[in-house]
Amino acid sequence: MRAATPRALGALVRRFGDFEACEDAVQEALLAASAAWTATGVPDDPTAWLITVASRRRIDQLRADVARMRRETTDAALSLREFEREFEREIGPEPAGDDALTLFVLCCHPSLTPTSQIALTLRAVAGLTTAQIAAAFLVPPAAMAKRITRAKKTIKTSGAQFQLPAGAELAERLRTVMHVIYLIFNEGYAETHGRQLESAELTGEAIRLAQLLRHQLPGDGEVVGLLALMLLIDARRAARTTPDGALVPLADQDHSLWDAAAISEGVALITDSLSRLLLGPYQVQAAIAALHAEAASSEDTDWEQILALYEVLERLAPSPMAALSEAVASAMVHGTDAGLAQLALLDTVEPLSSHHRLHAVRAHLLELTGERRAARAEYLAAAEATSNDAERRYLADRAHRLDAADEHA
């Protein structure tokens, strides 16, 4: 049902306009489906069923609106008649090939803040409830409901139409769509706040959204790269934590616990993409993830090739986080001193200079060089800077282990 929801919503918004009213109609259709399908079974075409029922709900609402308006004016029924004639002419759902893509682009409208883009995408395209979205971001459902409502009103007042922009504007909006999907994945992979390290629901939805986007744009190398990247990273999920929820860093993970099917799919996607599609940052990151995934163990990782790819990424899309990862790769290839020297160059780069990952990487490299006291201070600084409880426990534990090592030295 969740996969059919954005297609149904897209079809209604294209036909009737008014995003919020159409979403209400689709929600009513979903409630009706829960009751009807339990009794009679899921229909052969759930999307067609939802579009038909939701369209009738919307027409009923329009009819009620017209009845109200007719008391005030004599010519208020024209638009309803046109909608009814159009609906009666149709047999089954309209071709919805671009509706999901258009809905993506609408939810990522530039008038919205990144947070609102994420929330609206999760609500309208992913089909998550307001309560689920609120739980993922650790805010009260009422606050998230207000945020989503404001986002819908912002889109309405902006005059946005349910249609794809053309040319350069479409390319720019697609970059935003991919960025929003990746933000959703990252929030699920390493929750910004909370007791758990990750949310499988958010990572799963991000992957599903990327699959949906790839279905719409099979020839876009960056869309393929984004999907491959998330599959390859998510494949490590079972090995990222111990049974009690403690974090396990990549270097210490049991590769046998990684999802071989997801790795195979991700590697196949990025291999094909690199051979025939225009290169972009997501593809480079996916290629790096593939090298990690294909290594039999941490010691077998091809760090020289990974370093070369990070250098390519730095030219294509320089970013503080990419520079931090490049410093790690440099340390693995050229030694810890080289890595520490690159980290020193990042100390004044915002927002990385205050990010817990900079402290954590420096702590790890200092520990490798035997500078335990300095490493301990960096681990504690990293623990203080992170807002995720699982990461904080891991970082504090590393610091305490160094204390214990000093006591036995």
Tell me if 176 is assigned to some domain.
no
How does pLDDT run across 286-338, given as a tens digit for each residue? 999 999 999 988 889 999 999 999 999 999 999 888 999 999 999 999 999 99
Tell me if 383 is assigned to some domain.
no
Answer whether 148's CB lies under 8 Å from 118's CB: no
Tell me if 254 is assigned to some domain.
no
d(CA 267, CA 291): 9
Report CA 349 to chain centroid distance, whole Å.
Answer: 25
Q: What pLDDT is stored for residue 123 in this prediction?
A: 86
Q: What pLDDT is stored for residue 339 in this prediction?
A: 95
Answer whether 112's CB lies under 8 Å from 173's CB: no
- pLDDT over threshold 60, residue 86: no
Tell me if 251 is assigned to some domain.
no
Mean pLDDT, residues 127-156 taken together: 84
Mean pLDDT, residues 385-405 taken together: 85
Number of folded domains in the chain? 1
Tell me if 54 is assigned to some domain.
yes
Q: What pLDDT is stored for residue 307 in this prediction?
A: 96
How does pLDDT run across 258-276, given as a tens digit for each residue? 999 999 999 999 999 998 8
Confidence of residue 25 (pLDDT cuts 50, 70, 90): confident
Per the model's pLDDT, the better-predicted residue between 285 and 171 turns out to be 285
**Nearest residue to 292 via CA among 263, 265, 328:** 263
- pLDDT over threshold 80, residue 403: no
Q: How far is CA 235 from CA 197, 226, 239, 293, 388, in A?
A: 15, 14, 9, 8, 21
Tell me if 85 is assigned to some domain.
yes
Q: What pLDDT is stored for residue 329 in this prediction?
A: 95
Q: What pLDDT is stored for residue 265 in this prediction?
A: 97
* Cα Rg of the chain (Å, integer): 25
Domain that holds residue 74: 4-89
Q: What pLDDT is stored for residue 69 in this prediction?
A: 65
Tell me if 105 is assigned to some domain.
no
**Nearest residue to 220 via CA among 288, 284, 279:** 279
Q: What pLDDT is stored for residue 92 in this prediction?
A: 46
Q: What pLDDT is stored for residue 96 in this prediction?
A: 46
Q: What pLDDT is stored for residue 322 in this prediction?
A: 92
- pLDDT over threshold 90, residue 66: no
The percent of residues above 90 in pLDDT, for the chain, comes to 34
d(CA 262, CA 390): 25
How does pLDDT run across 327-363, given as a tens digit for each residue? 999 999 999 999 999 999 998 888 788 889 999 999 9
Tell me if 323 is assigned to some domain.
no
Q: What pLDDT is stored for residue 218 in this prediction?
A: 87
Confidence of residue 84 (pLDDT cuts 50, 70, 90): low
Question: Exposed, middle or buried: residue 152 (CB in 10 Å: 0-12, 13-18, 19+)?
Answer: buried
